Amino acid sequence: MGKLTSFKRSLWVFHASGGSCNACDIEIIAALTPRYDAERFGIKLVGSPRHADVLLVTGAIPKDFADKLRRIYEQMPDPKAVIVIGNCGTSGGVFYDSYNIAGPIDEIIPVDVYVPGCPPRPEAIVDAVVKAWLKLEKLEKQLEGKEE
């Protein structure tokens, strides 16, 4: 993994939960609470995808949520990154053969980072956000025409 070259700005994250059992969602909250305290790095949850750099998605995505997830993704400004938290969104997990599942998520929107686990630990979630941060830095350089 490369090194972060700068922390030019805070990284704002929007969380979309589609059919999650809630355990992955609780681990995201745990990453923000004092033990891990991701906010000290400027990583914070925001209430609108229009304000977000990174989209965190949990759950196996029921069919009636797929269009909503596409709309959430389209509302985010560029550059943006998507992280799938948990086995459900990565592969379908325990719901892989359900009649009502539209996922895995990368069949609905582009995914940059996968965090496997049922649920994954907060350390893995913070590590995934750092990986997304590296992608965003690269995209920003491309947008500025400074790609090495």
Strand pairing partners for 44?
12
Among residues 119, 122, 125, 129, the one that binds ligand SF4 under rule CB under 6 A? 119
Query: Which CB sits closer to ligand SF4, 4 or 118?
Result: 118
**Binding characters for ligand SF4, 78-117, by CB under 6 A (x = yes):** --------xxx----xx-----------------------
Q: How far is the CB of 94 from ligand SF4 (least distance, A)?
A: 6
CB 54 within 8 A of CB 129: yes
Q: How far is the CB of 13 from ligand SF4 (least distance, A)?
A: 17
Q: List Cα–Cα distances, 37 to 57, 91, 107, 112, in angstroms.
A: 20, 29, 32, 23
Strand pairing partners for 82?
55
- Residue 31: in which H helix or E strand, if any? helix 23-32
Query: Which CB sits closer to ligand SF4, 93 or 104?
Result: 93
Question: Please, which of residues 3-32 interact with ligand SF4 by CB under 6 A?
Answer: 20-21, 23-24
Q: How far is the CB of 116 from ligand SF4 (least distance, A)?
A: 9
Question: Please, which of residues 27-66 interact with ligand SF4 by CB under 6 A?
Answer: 58-59
Residue among 45, 31, 123, 125 nearest 85 (CA): 125
Q: Which amino acid is at 56?
A: L
CB 109 within 8 A of CB 81: no
Handedness of CA 96, 101, 107, 110 (dihedral sign): negative
Give residues in contact with ligand SF4 (CB under 6 A).
Answer: 20-21, 23-24, 58-59, 86-88, 93-94, 118-119
